[in-house]
Structure 1
Amino acid sequence: MKTNSPREVARFWRELLGYRIAPNHSNSVKLIGDDGPALLIQPSDNPIEQGAIHLDLRPEDQAACVDQALKLGATRADIGQAGNEGWVVMADPGGNLFCVLQDQADYRASLANDPGTATSID
């Protein structure tokens, strides 16, 4: 059954990937594993279809991740961003929106004074 609940989707990805919930600074759900990028699951402000969600990736290297996504068939998506947000909005080959967030190092530096809180999904 198709769902538009970020918490239900997060539970699925948590179990599928073996990730765990981590603190963050929004109402999105942040999942992390021992390897690979963090995964943030949140409601989309500009859904492709009503109730859609999109994924956020926080890679070690934002530029390399964007380049790889483009090579694999993703496109840059314009949803009205100003251009100085710190993330890149993209669409996968199926048209599903996702964001490539700032580099891990930049993000860790921003957490020095505020580690955030985990969004409960259970």
Structure 2
Amino acid sequence: MTVSLHHIVIDAHDLPAQARFWTQVLNWTILSERDREIVIGVDENAPVGICFMPGSAARKTTKNRLHLDLTPGPDGRDAEVDRIVALGARRVDIGQTGTESWTVLADPEGNEFCILRPKTTLIA
């Protein structure tokens, strides 16, 4: 028997604000909202969702050890970057050279994520 990925859990200081930001980025919905947990996803039967839970009192100060890579829609990477920045993300420098095929952004609480070049498979 194997396990399967259920949630990606993100520690947050402002759970509702983080959930709203990510539902707009991903065009997902809030599936469950409790005092100490908000779950978002495509729908309640989706194979994977994102769960926001209270984090430590300390603010984030270092690069994430884990981050999300997002594939842009039909308008392409630059349009998606502009759209997501308008939602509250910001561009961040984590040592890129400028020749990468991705753009690094951070959500409103500083968690890095990447917008990739358009891809159709996990490896291409």
TM-score between the two structures when normalised by the length of structure 1: 0.49
* Structure with the largest fraction of strand: 2
* Structure with the largest fraction of helix: 1
Higher relative contact order (CA 8 A, sep 6+): 1
TM-score between the two structures when normalised by the length of structure 2: 0.48
